[in-house]
Amino acid sequence: MWAAAAALGLAATGCAAPSDTAGSAGTPNNSAGRTSARPSTSAGAHGWSRDRLRAAIAKHAGTAHTAKATPLNAQVGAVFTHNAEGDHFCTASVVDSAGQNLIVTAAHCVYDPTTGQRSDLVFVPGYRTGESPNGVWPLVSITVDQSWKDDGNEDMDVAFAIVQPQNGRQIQQVLGASRLGINKGYQLPVRITGYPSSVDAPITCANNTTEQSTTQLRIDCSDYTGGTSGSPWVTDLDPKTRTGTVVGVIGGYQQGGDTPDISYSSYFGDQVQALYDRATG
């Protein structure tokens, strides 16, 4: 569940007040959430060489997973950062916006209520085995809810981030984007693609969500360990465009779950819509 880059300062979005913006990941979590005119495809972009990307994963290698590697969805990728413990990563995905430059992930991936905003962040869509086939996109601003900043409100473990354009094009122009789904209910068929920290490729699970509480969704999916925080929960998936509607991200209760086989998400309701509006305003 974590992110990374080369010393990159993150700007505040929306209001000048820090309540609307952030950037930093929470402490390592070993559970489920746990953690074109192409853009440049150089793995060395922004200080991230192929070896550095792979080393970030190798540092957190663990038990091999039984889940099969998923076919690449270019809109989903790994988020890398650097902190005192090394290079960690989360998962994020491109979400539709007027600026065509927005990704969604978990708030605990980018902001720690104790230490503040995490810096040095990049998004690597379609990442696999040290390769960045769709480029390395620096995050230039991050938006989290004030209640997350104040006390880590698990019901708002959601973050939106604007990424820097590459070669004059925005990320959505290059890769497409899924829509944001608000108040879609608690029982939905979804697909979740994420990047476990102990393997070098994404995995995907398809299952139905259930209601953990009025503010939390739950899903049973195997092997979603550290690194999968921020993985999008996508319903109404179009198999041709590989876009759909994002109704959650791994996070929320227990920062996504305290076992690798059960994951959670903050419910995407009116507060998430307000957060999105601040991020895109």
- Write the pLDDT tens digit of every residue in 50-88: 565 555 555 444 332 233 333 457 899 998 875 434 465
Name the range with the highest mean pLDDT among 108-112, 128-132, 269-273. Answer: 269-273
Question: If we measure between CA atoms, which residue out of 89, 275, 107, 257 comes closest to residue 180?
Answer: 275
Assign a CATH topology to domain 11-64+75-280: Thrombin, subunit H (2.40.10)
Q: Which two tokens stand for residue 233?
A: 């929960």
pLDDT (0 to 100) of residue 53: 55
pLDDT-wise least confident of 71-75, 103-107, 187-191, 235-239 = 71-75
> Would you give the DSSP letter of residue 26?
-
Cβ–Cβ < 8 Å for 217, 267: yes
Q: Which two tokens stand for residue 241?
A: 């465009």
Interval 16-44: pLDDT, tens: 222 333 333 333 333 334 552 223 333 34
**Beta bridge partner(s), residue 161:** 103, 142
pLDDT at 142 over 90: yes
Interval 245-271: pLDDT, tens: 999 999 998 888 888 999 999 999 999
Region 217-230 average pLDDT? 93
If DSSP codes are grouped into helix, strand and coil, which group holds residue 195? coil
E strands, the chain, are 11-12, 76-83, 86-95, 102-105, 111-112, 116-117, 122-125, 137-144, 159-163, 179-180, 189-194, 203-208, 210-213, 216-220, 232-238, 243-249, 262-266
The residue ranges of every structural domain in the chain are 11-64+75-280
Interval 169-179: pLDDT, tens: 999 999 999 99
Beta strand 159-163 with 102-105 is antiparallel
| Of 255 and 148, more confident | 148
Query: Rounded to the nearest 5 degrees, what angle is found at the Cα of 105, between the Cα atoms of 100 and 274?
Result: 70
Whole-structure pTM value: 0.78
pLDDT (0 to 100) of residue 87: 61
pLDDT-wise least confident of 26-40, 97-111, 160-174 = 26-40
Q: H helices within the chain, ranges in order? A: 50-58, 107-110, 146-151, 171-175, 270-280
